[in-house]
A and B are shown apart, each in its own frame.
Chain A
Amino acid sequence: MSTQVPEQVEDESSAESVSPGKQKRDAKKRERAERLQEQREAEAAEKARTADDTYHLKVFRYDPEVEGKQEPRFDDFYVPYKQGMTVLDALMWARDHYDSSLTFRHSCRQAICGSDALFVNGSQRLGCKTQLSDLSEPVRVEPLPHADVVKDLVVDMEHFYDQMEAVEPYFQTNSLPDEDEEQRQTRENREKVKMSTRCIWCSACMSSCNIAAGDNEYLGPAAINKAYRFAMDEREGEEMKQRRLEILEQEHGVWRCQTQFSCTEVCPKDIPLTEHIQELKREAIKNNLKFW
């Protein structure tokens, strides 16, 4: 699906070096064309509304900078259904054909960039990975809960990124291999961290987490999962693992998790987040428990 509507090509090159009479005529022509276009769009919208194979979307609208949109509301969009259409496709169609000011993030459209996590029919999902045919109508599309809305479906991700950065989400080690040697990981160890490497930073888990909603300092499932990915990586060495556990053991670290399984439920990459958090809790206990 294209982001550009092909019929809306406008000819603006003829504005210069023409007689005022022609300009006037052109202006009139353009006006007529615009009116026709509007009429055609209205007809298309009417047809879409009454047709059988359309999907009814209720989309959250809010914009603090536009007077008419300061009060949040839901707009209805009727989108003609094509086989394999996702929520993101439908939003793009609505934006291209009804309201070009409809704002949402998207980039790769294949569940890798993590830009289009939305609150669809009461649960956090990736717009590009959610088939319309799996949803009941009307499809309610809202921005992620528990986050500041910037405009329409766009939320402020700054807090989420801060939490991610807090766990130092990058490989670090003190035990480097010899020169001309690769830093190898055993197959078993790779298998252990496999699922945790799949995170795409979409913030769906963070948004679904009840605890993160109430406790702004809580690292959140995504950040803890990121920490798990490196803490469990044997190449980092004991010293680094100690350092990572010290971050996680803090008051707003792993111990905030109350195993509601909301994050695991919504994760679009099927990462067993709760399992990872629980494992880090056990690691933290083993780390501090001493018998003597």
Chain B
Amino acid sequence: MSQSYNRGLIEDFGRWREFSAGMWAWIFHKFTGWVLVGYLFTHIAVLSTALTSEAAYTTTIQALESLLVVRILEVGLLAVAVFHILNGLRLLFVDLGVGLEAQDKSFYASLILTGVIVVASVPTFLAGVSI
């Protein structure tokens, strides 16, 4: 919208402390969505090594899994995916017009559930796969 002067970020992200639950849900959903799109490309790249040979795929995966950074990133990926799924379910209910009064609570619930699942997954991921 045109402005008679520039109020800068004050109108938008400069106010992040005052954002409500629905706004945070929207921002997180956008962010996790883009992360998942980005991951899709690396996912395809890694899978494509199987086109050359079985051994190439195995060595690639083993090399990646041996890096601690990769295993930590996997935890992050799980967090992003789980939140996107849970909030997606929440949005399905919103679209159906079910429980719109509790939309903030369902957002908090999906956050907490994401946290629990991610924390529970940490040992598995950090241990890595032993082949």
The interface of chain A, by Cβ under 8 A from chain B, is 62, 64, 72, 122-123, 145-150, 159, 210, 213, 216, 258-262, 264-265, 272, 274-275, 278-279, 281-282
Contact = CB atoms under 8 A, between A and B. Distances in A.
Interface string B17-41: 1101111011000000000000000
B100 A149 contact: no
A192 to B, nearest CB: 13
Interface residues of B, number: 27
Contacts of A62: 4-5
5 contacts: A148-B2, A259-B95, A262-B20, A264-B22, A265-B20
B91 interface: yes
Interface of B: 1-5, 7, 10-12, 15, 17-18, 20-23, 25-26, 91, 94-97, 100-101, 103-104
Q: Which A-B residue pairs are the 8 nearest by beta carbons?
A: A261-B22, A122-B18, A145-B11, A260-B26, A148-B4, A275-B100, A260-B22, A265-B20
B4 A64 contact: yes
Given A150-B4, A274-B103, 13 more contacts: A62-B4, A62-B5, A149-B5, A210-B23, A259-B94, A259-B103, A261-B23, A262-B23, A265-B22, A274-B22, A275-B100, A279-B97, A282-B97
A147 B3 CA distance: 7
Nearest to A123: B18
A261 B3 CA distance: 24
A259 B91 contact: yes
